[in-house]
Structure 1
Amino acid sequence: MRMPLFGELPTKHSPPAAAILIWSLPPEARLPAPDETRKTGRPLLGCAEARLMLYKPAYKIVLRNRFMSGVAHMHVRGLLLTAALFLVSHPGRTQESAPARSGRSSAETATPKQSAGRTVVGKLSPAGEKWVVQTLNKMMLDEKIGQLLLVTYYGGFISSESDAYRELVHQVDQNHVGGFIVVTRGSPLGIVESEVYPTAVLANQLQRHAKIPLLIAADFERGTALRLREGTSFPDAMAVAATGTPKDAYTMGRITALEARAAGVHWIFAPVADVNSNPDNPIINIRSFGEDSQRVAEFVSAFVRGVEENGALATAKHFPGHGDTASDSHLDLPVVYGDRKRLDTVELVPFRAAIDAGVSSIMTAHLAVPAIEPDCVPATLSPRILTDLLRKELGFNGLVVTDALNMGGVTRMAAPGEAAVRSFLAGADVLLMPPVPDAAFEALKTAVRTGRIPRSRLDESVRRILRAKARLGLHRERLVPLEGLNSKFGLPDWSQAAQEMSDRGVTLLRDTTRQLPLDATRPTRALLVVIAGDPDPYPGADLEDEIRSRVDSLQVVRADTRFARVSAVHIPPPETYDVAIAALFVRVVDRKGTIGLPEDQSALLNQLFASGKPVVVVGFGNPYLIERFPNSSTWLAVFGNSDVSQRSAARALFGQVAISGRLPVGIPGVEGGGLKAGEGLAVPANPMRLWPASDSVKARLKPVFDVVERAVANGTLPGGVLAVGHHGQLVVHPFGTQTHDPQFTAARTGAIDDLGSLGESLVTAFLLARLTETSAEGAALLDAPIERYLPEWPSGPSPEWRHKVTIRHLLTHRSGFPAHLGASRTFSTRSERLATVLAEPLATEPGTKEIYSPLGFILLGEIIERMTGKPLGALAEQQLFVPLQMKDSTYRPGKGPLAQVGPAESPSTHYQRRSHAERAFPIGGIAGHAGLLSTASELAAFSQMLLNGGIYAHHRFLRRSTIVEFTGPQPLLANARTLGRAAPGQNSPSGHYFSLRSFGETDYTGSWLWIDPAKDLFVILLKNRVSPGREGHKTEEFLPAVHEAVIEALGLGPAQPTSGPQGWP
C-alpha cells in the first residue's frame, strides 16, 4: 500500500496501521505503553506525554539508518507522526464526545457564571454594548470565525508591495482575523525587536483595512522593551518580587500599559501568574514572581491593576499554572503532577487573585494536569480545565486566549486545523499564533458548518471579543496618533523608575570574604569573564560599559555556545588583574529545554575560582545555578539580563546602590542548609561623597584655625573660608569678614567667591582633559599646534615662532606670551578680545621659558569652544557643574542670593557681583583664564573627584590615567608646573610637608587650592585680599604656614622626598 506522506491527514484506518508499525519494532526500540508503565516502579504518567514518547525510539532508529533514502525518511516520519496523533487523540474515546462529568454541562452548552469574579464586560457603556450587539448581528460566518484568530506581525519597515505586507493584508481581508501579536524576529546575531514607529504605522494601516477593529497584542512581560526596542525596559518578574514591594509591579503595569497604547498595542500578555516551585523549570523560572503562591498573587494583582487602570487589557498566564514543571511546552508536553488540593493552594491562587483584580484575559498552558484531566489532554485542549474549572468554578467571564498554537505542547497532539478546533471547543475564545492560519480558519469554518461547533458557542466567544474591543474604545477610534508618539513612549522618568526598581531587586546570595562593594576610587585592574549559556555574539555589553567606567583597566573574555566556544577562550594570568567578575548569562529561552550551563562553561568558571584572585559571580538569570558552585565566595543575583539589570549589577557591585533584595524562591541545594525564600545579605551603599568630619577631626584642626585667625588679627587678610578634606571627611571653617569694609558681615561657609586663576585648573584644564578622552585626536591633542584650531594664529607677529606653539605650551605657560597685554590694548567684546590677544607679539621662543600669562588660557577657552561648538560656560555647566552638583558655581551669579557673592576689588564693581579680572569682566566674566565664582564646599567636591581618580558620587568625570597626565611632570620642564596647575617647587606655596605628588593653584586674590594624592588630602582657602584694593596684603609666608599646620595637625608628618613620578601610583 502507499505510505502516507508527512503532513497528510490520517484516515480512520491508517492510525492503527501506523501503530502496528511501531509495535513491530524490537522491544528495546520502544517504551512501555501507559498500561505497562503502571507495572513499573516509575511515577504514573497516564497521559499524552507517555503516548508521545512511544514514537521517539522508533524515530531515532530511523535516523540511525544511514542507508534509508531521503524519501523514505519523509514517509516514515509522516507515518510515525500519524501514529502519535492517533495514540494521543484516541485514549478510548474522543474528548469532544465525552459526557460532562459531575453533572456539569459540556463546553458547547455551558453558560459561564456572571456573579463570580469582576470582569471587563461589566464595565461597558450602553453605547458600547449597543455597538457589540449591532456588529454581531451583521457579521457573516467568515467574519465571526476570523475574530477568533490572532496572528503575528513584525514591527519593522516593509514595502506595501512586498509579499510580507500582502500576507498581512490577506489575513485581514480574507481570514478576517480579530487581531495581531507583535513579535520579534531572529537573525544570525540574535533576536531583533520590533520598532515602535513601524509597529504603530503598520497597526494603523491594518486597522484601516479591517472592517471590524483589530486587537493588537504583545508579550510585554518586562515592559514594552521586550518587543519594542525603544520601549522602557523593566527587570524580570523575579527581580521585581525581590524588591518586596507589590507597588513596583503596579508601576511596571501602569507604564507598560501607557506605552503600549501609545504604540497601538491594546492587549498585554502579562503578568506571568505561575508559581515557580520547581527549580528545574526551564521556561518559567525568573519570569515568575516566586515560589510563594500568596506573594505571587499580590504581585500579579498589582500588575493587573496597573495595566487595567491605564487603558490596556492584562493577561494572567499560563493557566492552570506552569511553575511546577520540568520541561518546556514549546518542545513537549509538561506534566503538573500535584493533586487537586495542591492545585487549589498553590497553582490556582494567583489566578483567583487576578480574576478578583479585574484581569481581562487568561492565557492557557500547553501542559497536562492529571488531577483535573485524567486523560492528560493539554489544558489548552481540555474542556474540564477551561470550561469546568476556569469558567464555571472560578467564575471567569473574560477572554480566554490560548498560548501560541505553534508550540510543541500542542503541535505534537494535533494537526494545525484540528488543534484550533479542539482549543475552541475546550473553552478558548482567541486562538493565538496558529502555525497555519489559513488551515485553522478552514478547519473552524468546517466545524461550524458540520455542527461540531454550535453557532451559539461561536457567538459567545465573538461577543466577548467585541466587548473587549468596545471596552478599549476601539469602536470609536481605532487609529493611534503618530505625531505625539515620542511624548508618550520611552520617557526618561519611566526609565528612571524602572532602573530604581531593578536596583532594589539585586540580591546578594553569598559573600563569605566580604568583597562587596568594590571600591572604584582605588586603582583597580579588573577581569570580566562573560559566560553565556546560549548563542550570543556579544553578551553583557551594558555591564562591560558600566564596569569600564569604574575601573582603571578592564580585560574582557567572552564565551558562549556558538560564537566563542570555551575551547577557544583563554583566561589571562592572575598577575594581570586584581579582581575577576564572572557574569553568567543563563537565560530563560523557549525551545532550549534547559536552564543550566554546559559542562565546558562550568569548567571555565571553576578555572577562574582556582586562580587565587577574588572572584565575584553575577547571575543574570537562573538563581539556582549557585547550587553547582559551592566554591564561589561571592554571588550576586539580578534575575535577568536586560539592560537595566546589567546596570543594576554594576551599581550594586561598586556600592552606588544598597543591596537589599530578598530571594523570591528557596534554593535548597546550597551547602549549609540551603537558601530560603526571603533571605539575602544586605550591603549599604557607598555614596562616594565627602562627609562632614567628626568632632574629633575638627578638634585636631584647631591649631590650623588659630593660624588663620592670627592672620586676620595682624591684617594679612580680612577673612575667608578654609576647607580641609582628608580620607573623604570635610571640614569647612569660615573666619574673619568678607572685606575690611565694616559694612560687610562675617565670612560664611556658603560664601561665593571669585576664584581668579583657579578657574584655569577647575574648568579650562578639566575641559581639555575631557577632550583628550573624547576627541578623535586623543592625547595627541596636547602636542598639536594651535594653528590647527585657530587658523588666524600664524598671521600675527613673530611668525617664525607661532607655528611652534602647542596646546601643551599654553597649559604650562611656555608659549612665549608676555605676562600681560600692553597697557594701550583694550576691548569690549569677545571678538575684540580675541583679536587683541592674537595680535600680541611673543616675548620668547615657545618652550624655552615659563612666563605666567593669562593670554594662553584665553586662547585655550576659544579653542575649546571651537572644538565643541558650545560656549565655555555652558560646557562647564553640562560636563562639570551639574553632574558634580556644583549648584553655586557659575560665571554669572544669579543662581543664589546676591549677598552670598563676595565683593570685587573696587566700589565701581562692588555690587555687580562678577569677576574682577580685567580680561574677563568687560565681556561678562566668562573667559578661559578667569571669571569663575564658586564656594569652598564645591571646590572640595572637585578636589575629592581628583583624589578619587576622576570619579565622584559614582559619576566618571575623567580617567585616572588622564589625571596622571595632567598633574604629573611635563617633558623638558624643570620648573614646578603641570598641565594647567602648579607643582611643588622652590617658589611654591605648598610648604615643606606636601609630597612631590601634590599639585594645585594660587591666585593673586589670595585664594588657593592644593591637593596631595599621596596623603589623600586637599586644602582650600578662599579669601579676598584685593578688596578694596590689591596693595598692602602680604601672604607669601601665610600660605605655607597653613599647609604645614594642616599636615602637622592631622599627624601626616613631614613629607618624605620621593623619586617616583607625581600623580597617582
Structure 2
Amino acid sequence: MKKIWFAAILAVQSIYLYAQNSPFFIDSLQQKKWVEDKYNAMTLEEKVGQLFIVAAYSNRDAAHETQIENLVKNEAIGGLIFMQDIAVKQAELTNRYNKVAKIPLFIGMDAEWGLAMRLKEVNRFPWAMTVGAVQDNSLVQQMGNNIGEQSARMGVHFNFAPTVDVNTNPKNPIIGNRSFGSDVGNVAQKGISYMLGMKERGVLASAKHFPGHGDTSQDSHKVLPMIAHDLQRLKSVELAPFQKLIDAGVASIMVSHLNVPALDNSGLPATLSKKIITDLLKNEMNFKGLVITDALNMDGVAKQYSPGTVDLMAFEAGNDILLFSQDVKTAKQKIIDKINSGEISEARLAESVKKILEAKYFVGLNNSKPIDTKNLLADLNKVSFSETTYQLYESAATLVKNEGDVLPIKNLNDIKIAYVSLEEAEYNDFDKSLDFHVPVDLVKIKSAAEISKLKNYDQVIIGFHKSNETAYKSYKISENSKAILKAVSAQNSTTLVVFGSPYALMDLDLNQTKAVLVMYQNLKTTQDIAAGLIFGAAAIKGKLPVDVNDQWRFGNGISIPSLNRLGFADPESVGLSSEILKKMDVLAQEAIDKGATPGMQIVATRKGKVIYDKTFGYESIQRKKKVEPTDLYDVASVTKVTATLPLLMQEVSDGKLSLNQTLGTIIPKANGTNKANITLKELLAHQAGLPPWIGFYKESVNVQNARLYLDYYSRKQDEEHPIKVTDNIYIIGSIRDTIMTDILYAPLASKKMEYSDLGYYLYQDYLETKYKKPLDSLVNEKLYKPMGMRFTTYNPLDRFTREQIIPTENDKIYRNQLIHGYVHDQGAAMMGGVAGHAGLFSTARDMSKLMQMYLNGGTYGGVQYIKPEVIQEFINTQFSGNKRGAGFDKMGGNTNCKCPSEQSYGHYGFTGTMVWADPKEEIVYVFLSNRINPSVNNNALANGKYRENIRQVLYDAIVK
C-alpha cells in the first residue's frame, strides 16, 4: 500500500514539475502519456525528423508537392512553413501532406500582420510599427486574437511572430516597420498583448529575432550583421523584451543570424552559438519553450556553412526546431551519426522532440482533423477582423505638431482648401475623402517654383504618399518634396500628412508647417481615416513609437477629442458585409432601368462612418449628364425635418418654445381663428385637423390652358411683383399674406392623423417674424454654414450653375416649362422658393451630415446645436394610434424583423427623396432622386418600394 501511495506522490510531483517547466502544459497525465507514447513509438530516424520544418508553397508545380510529400513520408519531418500564396490550395495541401504523416504536422507561417503576409485575398492587419503607436493594448491583444483565429481556421498552429526587436536604428533594412518601435517597454508590452491574443485561439507565438536585430544596418538574409553593444546595453535594450515575453509565457523564440561579440566572441552566428542559445537563453533567461532557428537558407549562415552541417551545428547549439533546411536527408544523417557516436546524447534529442510533441498536443494535434475548405476565404476575412484593423489604424494616427490648434479644422464657413499629393506612391483619391467635408481642390505641384498656384488658399494639405507594397520600402522623402513642403509652409497655413514611416520626419524642415499628422501606412483606409481626423470625425490618440531624431521622440503625440463629424470607413469596419451591400447597387440600377427615376444619390453611414456613397444614372431622362455627388436635388418635404424642424428644436432647446404651447401664443394673427388653440405637438404630429393641402396656385392660373392670371403675375420683376416664381415669372408681393389667411381660416377636420404641409407655413411665419430674417438666411446661419453643408440651399441658382442642379417636372399646368433650378412645389414657388415645408435643395452627403447630427444627440463638429433630450422629445411618438413623432415619420410596431427599429425616424419627399436615422443600429440613410422627371404621374419609385428596399439591404448586411 505504501508503495502505491509513494508512486502516486512521485507521479503528482512529476506532473507538477512538468507543468512548471513547460509553456505547453494542458491537462497533466493525458498530455504526458500522449507525448511518451508517441516518442517511444518512433525510430531514431523519426525522432530526428521531428526537428525539421521545411518550406512549402501553394503556387508551385507537382514536382514540388511530391518532394514535400516524400519528405513528410520518408524523412518524417515535424512540420511545414507555408510561404505563399493561395489559401484554399494551402489547406488542400496541408490535408494531403497530413495523410502521409505518422505524427500530424506542425504548420507554421510568417504572419506578422496576419496571413495576408503570405496569402492573397486575405485581410491585412497593420504593420508592427503602426501598432506600436496605439495606446490601447487591448486592441493589440484583439489583433492577436483575430490573427490567431485566422491561423487556426487555416490549420496554422505556429505563427512566427511577434517581432520584438527594439528598432533603435532608422537605417535598419530588414526590421523597421516590422518592429513595434524603439522603446523597450512598449515593444515588450505590444509583443505580450499580441502573443496572449493568439494564445486565446490556441496558436503559438514565436518572439523574434533573438538576441535582437533592431540596431543593425545590414540584412541577415544577405550577410551576417554584427551587434557591437556591450553586455549591459544588450541586457537593458535588445534582450529585455525577450525576457519579458519569457516571463509572460511565450511558447517559442526564434534565434537570428547575428554576430554578437559581447555574448559570444567566437564569431559564430547566434543561431549556431551554444553560449547564446543554451547558456544564455535556456539557462540564464530560463526559457523552457521551443527554440527555433531563423531560416537556415539565409546567407547570414548559408554562405559559411554547407547544408546539413549548419543544421547539425544549430541543433548542437541548443535549437529545438531547424527551420528551412536545405538538405533534410543529409542533416538528419549527420545528427544521427553524432547520436550513435555518443557525441549527442539521447537525452538531448528527447528534450527537443518531447517539447515539440508537447506543443503539438497543446495546439490539438493529438486530435488532428482535416481542414474544411468550405467558406474558407470568407472565414479568413470576417467582419470582426476589419473592425479591429480599422480601430488600430485610427488609434495609431499621431499628431506630432499642431501649431495654433489648426487641427481639427473647426470653422468650415467659406474656407478654401487645396490638397497637394507628393512622393512616388501618389494616390489622389485622398482629396475625395477630404471633399466630403468641404470642397477641396486637388492642385498639382511639380516643384517649389509652382507654389503661386496655392497663394489664394486658406489651408493647404500636403500628403507624402509612400509605397505600401512591402514593409521594407524606404521611408525617405525626396529632395523635391522637401523643397515643396518648405516653400508652401512659408506661404500658406499647411498641414502635412505622412502616409508612411515616422522616420520620414527625420530630416524634414517643419519649422513653418502648422500641423503634422503621421498615418504610418498608405492605404485607402488610412486616407479615409486621415480625412476624418483632419475635420474631427474621430479622436486623435496615437503616440510616436520611435525616437526619430532629437526633435521627434518616442511618446510624442498630441491628443485631440472628436468633433463628432462623419468620417469614412469600409463597411466591415462597422459590422456590415460589403458583399451584401452590393445588392444596393443592383436595386438602384433596377430602379433606373424600370423608369422609376432618371438617377439618384445614396449615402449610408453606420457608427458615424460613411460606408456607402454612390451616384447612379443621369440628371434627367434626356441622359445627357451623369449624376455627380455634388449635384443638387430638390428634397421637397424633406425640407420640413432638415430646415424648419431643427430651428424649432433649437427654440425648444433654448426654452423659447414648448410642444404643449398653442399656436395663438406664438402667432398672434392665429388668435380669433380656429387655429388658436392647436398645440405645436398636434401640428407637428399632423393631428391638428388641418387640410392636407391647399392648391393656392389654382386660384392664379387657368389650369385648362396653363395661362397665368395677370392679376397675379408679370413677366418682369417690379415693385408690385417682387417675388420670383421661376424664369420670367414674378408674382405679387401680397401673395404671402393671402396664403397665410387661407391657412388660418381653413376649416378643421377631426383630430386624427392626416398629413398636412400647412403647419410649416405657419412655423416659417413664426421664425421669420421673430428673427426678422428670411428662413433661408436663418437656417443657413444657424446650421448649414457652421456644419459645412455647402451644397444645401434654397433658390440654388443664386449660388450654383444650372448644370449642377437636377431638374424635376416638365410642368404643363402652372409654369409651363421644365422646372430646373427652381422648387417644384407650387406653394413654395409662390413664396419665392423659400418655404417651411419645401424649397430646399441639397446633396445626399449634406443631408447625411444633418441626420448624423440628430443621431449624435444634437452635436456635430464640436458644436451642440440641439439638446439631446429635445431631439428625443421630437422623435418620440406623440399620440396613441399615430406613429408619427413631432415632425418625423416613424416605423410601425414590428420588432421581430431585421429592419429599421421602432426608434428610427425620418421623412419622405414628393420628388423621390428620403432621409432616415436609426439610433439603435446607428444608421443614417439618405436617398435623393427626381422620380417626377418628367412627370409627377410616375409612381414607379413608390410602387416598387425602391427607397425602402435599398434601405433594407443595409439591415440585411448587419453582421454584428
Tell me the TM-score range normalised by the shorter chain: 0.5 to 0.7
- 1:389 aligns to 2:306 (yes or no): no
Contact kept, 8 Å, 1:148 with 1:431, in 2: the verdict is: yes
Give the whole-Å Cα distance in 2 for the aligned partners of 1:705 and 1:240.
59
Q: CA deviation at 1:596?
A: 4.1
Secondary structure of the equivalent of 1:165? helix
Equivalent position SS for 2:267? coil
Helix, strand or coil at the partner of 1:123: coil
Following the alignment from structure 1 to structure 2, what is the Cα–Cα distance between the partners of residues 971 and 610?
53
Counterpart residue number, 1:182:
82
Structure 1 residues 709-748: aligned runs within 5 Å: 709-710=667-668, 712-715=670-673, 738=685
Amino acid at match of 2:73: D
Residue equivalent to 1:860? none
SS in 1 for 2:805: helix
Q: Which residue of 1 aligns with 2:773?
A: none
Residue of structure 1 in register with 2:194 after alignment: 303
Task: Give the conservation status (yes or no) of the 8 Å contact 1:233–1:644.
Answer: no
For 1:965, the equivalent position in structure 2 comes to 804
Counterparts in 2 of 1:130 and 1:118: CA distance versus 1, 3 Å: closer
Distance in structure 1 (CA, Å) of the matches to 2:800 and 2:346:
77
The aligned counterpart of 1:651 is 532
Contact 1:308 1:359 in 2 (8 A): no
**1:988 and 2:829 are equivalent in the alignment:** yes
1:367 counterpart residue number: 258
Show the counterpart of 1:685: 562
> Does residue 583 of the first structure (1) align with residue 486 of the second (2)?
no
Q: TM-score, normalised by structure 2?
A: 0.60
Contact in 2 for aligned 1:530/1:556 (Cα 8 Å): no
Q: 1:942 to 1:596 in 2, by over 3 A?
A: closer
Compute the displacement of 1:680 (Å). Answer: 1.0
The C-alpha deviation readout for 1:914-960, integer Å capped at 9, x for no partner, is 9999xxxxxxxxxxxxxxxxxxxx999998999625799xxxxxxx9
Equivalent pair of 2:464/2:498 in contact (CA under 8 Å): yes
C-alpha contact 1:118 1:356 (8 A) present in aligned 2: no
CA-CA distance at 1:508 after TM superposition = 0.9
Cα distance in 1 for residues equivalent to 2:800 and 2:178: 43
Per the alignment, residue 838 of structure 2 pairs with 1008
- Is 1:168 matched up with 2:68? yes
Kindly state the Cα deviation for residue 358 of structure 1 after the two structures are TM-superposed.
1.7
Q: Does 1:147 align with 2:39?
A: no
Cα deviation 1:599-638 (Å, max 9, x = unaligned): xx23234234324455533333431221211246132222
Counterpart of 1:461 in structure 2 is 352
State the partner residue of 2:423: 531
Pairwise CA RMSD: 5.4
Look up the match of 1:948.
789
**Which of 512, 522, 530 pairs up with 2:403?**
512
Output the amino acid matched with 1:149: F
1:316 aligns with 2:207: yes
- The residue number in structure 2 matching 1:226 is 117
The Cα shift of 1:716 comes to: 7.5
Check conservation: 2:828, 2:834, Cα contact below 8 A: no
Instruction: Confirm or deny that 1:249 pairs with 2:140.
Output: yes
1:178 aligned partner, one-letter code:
G
CA contact (8 A) 1:251 1:306 kept: yes
Name the CA shift for 1:968/1:269 in 2 (closer, same or farther; >3 Å): same
**Per-residue deviation, 1:334:** 2.5
- Distance, in Å, in 1 between the alignment partners of 2:165 and 2:480 is 33
Q: Is the 8 A contact 1:709 1:735 kept in 2?
A: no
The equivalent of 1:638 in structure 2 is: 519
**Does 2:507 match 1:628?**
yes
**In 2, Cα distance between equivalents of 1:380 and 1:604:** 42
Summarize the Cα distance change of 1:483–1:542 in structure 2 as closer, same or farther, 3 Å threshold: farther
Matched, 1:290 2:248: no
- TM-superposed CA distance for 1:270, in Å, is 1.6
Shift of 1:390: 0.9
Match of 2:384 in 1: 493
- Gap change, CA 1:914 and 1:319, over 3 Å in 2: farther
Structure-1 separation of matches of 2:704 and 2:91? 62
Q: What residue identity is the alignment partner of 1:665?
A: V
Distance in 1 separating the partners of 2:841 and 2:91:
56
| AA aligned opposite 1:687 | N
* More divergent stretch after superposition (218-227 vs 247-256): 218-227
What is the aligned residue count?
Answer: 682
> Match of 1:357?
248
* Deviation (angstroms), 1:985: 10
Match status 1:660 vs 2:552:
no
Per-residue deviation, 1:262 = 0.9
- Residue 399 of structure 2 aligns to a residue whose secondary structure is strand
Whether the 8 Å contact between 1:146 and 1:175 is mirrored in structure 2 is yes
Q: 1:976 to 1:503 in 2, by over 3 A?
A: farther
Give 1:122's match in structure 2, choosing from 25, 28, 51. 25
**TM-score normalised according to structure 1 size:** 0.55
- 1:571, 1:608 within 8 Å by CA — same for their partners in 2? no
AA of the residue aligned to 1:182: F
Residue aligned with 2:371, SS: coil
State whether residues 626 and 635 of structure 1, in contact with CA within 8 Å, keep that contact through their aligned partners in structure 2. no
Q: How does 1:260-271 map to 2 (within 5 A)?
A: 260-271=151-162
How much does 1:363 deviate?
0.9
Q: Structure 1 pair 202/572, CA: closer, same or farther in 2 (3 Å)?
A: farther
Given residue 804 of structure 2, which amino acid in structure 1 is its aligned partner?
Answer: E
Please give the residue correspondences for 1:328-367 in structure 2 after superposition, counting only pairs within 5 Å: 328-367=219-258
* Structure 2: gaps (5+ residues): 1-15, 567-641, 696-702, 707-725, 730-746, 759-778, 794-798, 851-864, 867-873, 883-960
Q: Which amino acid aligns with 1:607?
A: I
Q: Percent identity?
A: 29
Structure 2 letter corresponding to 1:130: K
Native 8 Å contact 2:664 2:670 kept in 1: no
Letter in 1 for 2:498: G
1:603 to 457, 464, 480: 480
Q: Do the aligned partners of 2:828 and 2:835 also contact (CA within 8 Å) in 1? A: no
1:584/1:617 contact within 8 Å kept: no
Q: CA deviation at 1:468?
A: 0.9
Cα deviations by residue, 1:791-845 (Å, 9 ceiling, x for unpaired) = xxxxxxxxxxxxxxxxxxxxxxxxx9999xxxxxxxxxxxxxxxxxxxxxxxxxx
- Note the C-alpha offset of 1:478: 3.5
Query: Which structure has the larger Rg?
Result: 1
Measure how far apart 1:420 and its partner are: 1.8
2:536 counterpart letter in structure 1: G
Q: What residue is the counterpart of 1:472 in the other structure?
A: 363
Task: Determine which of 38, 48, 52 is the counterpart of 1:135.
Answer: 38
For the residues of structure 2 that align with 1:719 and 1:195, how far apart are their CA atoms? Answer: 73
Alignment of 1:519-918 (within 5 A): 526-532=418-424, 540=427, 546-547=433-434, 552=439, 555=442, 574=454, 579-585=460-466, 595-597=474-476, 601-611=478-488, 612-613=491-492, 615-631=494-510, 633=513, 634-641=515-522, 644-669=525-550, 674-688=551-565, 698=654, 708-710=666-668, 712-715=670-673, 738=685, 910=752
Distance 1:181 1:645 in 2: 31
From the superposition, tell whether residues 522 and 200 of structure 1 become closer, same or farther in structure 2 (CA, over 3 Å): farther
Give the letter aligned to residue 710 of structure 1. Answer: P
